[in-house]
A and B are shown apart, each in its own frame.
Chain A
Amino acid sequence: MKTQSLLLVLALIWGVHLSGQNNPPAFVRWQLQTNAGIALPLAKLKTGAITDLLIDYDDQYVYWQFITANYFFASNWGLSVTIQGNPFTDPNKNGERLLQTLAARYEQNYLVTSGPFKYGEEPNINTNIYLGVVYRKDFNKISLIPKLQIGATSFYAKRSNVYLKEINRNNHLQITYQSNRASTAHDGFTVMTGLTLACHLGKRFTLDLHTQLYGFITQFSYTEQIRNTYTEAIEVNTYDYDRINGTFSVGLGIGYKFAP
């Protein structure tokens, strides 16, 4: 009975507390931002291995943060979610470059009989999501908004087969590229810090300058298996991608503050 009474009192207090919140908060709770800019590598994922051409990721790219939604639970502190698109080079172009690289490697001794299959016309863009905390410090005409987020940098590490025919001989080679992961989809754990300088344009809008630092971890390797289709002799080369990758980005965008 005591417990029930206590719960009833607490429920009443909570109800009174809720009904008593007629006055809106004195600070902006919701803020939306979008921005685009350039991302430059600090520590590259791709270091020149032939298998780089099978990874749908570019170390340098023009990014677009479709949306960043900040929810401030206190006047300065809030939660932030960002959805960002990172374009990458057309896989078909990279497939052609893979063949050119192999042609250069085997010089004039082999001809390519069949190369990587053609990929579809899907947009060449990886979508990444980051979540974290955001801080806001308002000045007269500007706001400084640092944030710390974690998320995943996503990309595909494709498999591929290339067949080569030796000139003036009956020999054929099959070259297979495959990562050591079961899936071709990869998600690298990412820590992202950013600082936004928001210049107030009237009451609602801001012009934002974004600077961000990304660090993400990749842990996989590619194998290149070269098989003589007659003798079945196999040579295997491994290309390692266990590393921490870093990117710095700077971009420009606009923000919108919802009424307090």
Chain B
Amino acid sequence: MKWNKVLVVLLIPVAVNILSSCCECLESMFFDYTNCSISVEELDNSRLQPEVSSNKMILKEAFGLRVNVERKQDLCHQRSTPLFVTSAFAFSCECPPETVFQPLDSILTIQITTLRDFDDTHLSGSDVSEYFSVLLSTEFISIDEFISNLRNEVYDLEYDILKFDLMLMTPPPATGAHQFAVSLELSDGRVLSKSSSIIDLL
């Protein structure tokens, strides 16, 4: 019995050390961001991976649009002060991220509109979103699936730029000049829209 007590006393510093090391994390700093504008680039996917094309003639079976969503940081929360621990260093425990950017608005829909006659049933001004799919590395997902999987909370605005590739999976039957507009409907009611350049789909 006596030895058990000694053992417990000896283990107390170890337990305190473990607990204290787990507490020595920096508190996360919270910021807000907002989706400000979008840009659209034409993609040539004829080789290994989609590349932004300066050439305005692209094979229709290898065409895509890259959408870049510009986000603006908006600081709104002050840093919270830790209650017990004021250590400046985080140790090996699973600490939360140092900065968290939370969205003030989120993307509700993504729509692609053809600005020229796409085929007999999709004339200028028609919604052709169904002909596009989002390419994630080597897998394709629908636009709706992409929106539902979108991670809105990001940890670094500079590197977590929202950029996605919409690949044209059902090309128009005929070759010719085409132009598309991409519209993002946001939860705060705004619609971000941008048109592509006119490209010749070969």
Contacts and interface: CB of A to CB of B under 8 A. Distances in A.
Interface of A: 111, 113-114, 163, 165, 167-170, 172, 174, 229-230
Closest 7 CB pairs of A and B: A169-B61, A172-B138, A163-B138, A230-B140, A170-B167, A168-B46, A229-B139
A170 B139 contact: no
Contact of A165 (B48, B63, B168): B48
B62 interface: yes
Interface residues of B, number: 18
Contacts of B139: 172, 229
Interface of B: 45-49, 59, 61-64, 133, 135, 138-140, 167-169
Given A111-B47, A165-B49, A174 B135 contact: no
Q: Which applies to chain B's interface (DSSP): helix, strand, loop or mixed?
A: mixed
A169 B62 contact: yes
A174 B138 CA distance: 8
27 contacts: A111-B47, A111-B48, A113-B48, A114-B138, A163-B138, A165-B47, A165-B48, A165-B49, A165-B138, A167-B46, A167-B47, A168-B46, A168-B59, A169-B45, A169-B46, A169-B59, A169-B61, A170-B45, A170-B64, A170-B135, A170-B167, A170-B169, A172-B138, A172-B139, A229-B139, A229-B140, A230-B140
Given A165-B48, A165-B49, A170 B168 contact: yes
Contacts of B59: 168-169
B61 A168 contact: yes
Contacts of A114: 138
B62 A170 contact: yes
Contacts of A170: 45, 61-64, 135, 167-169
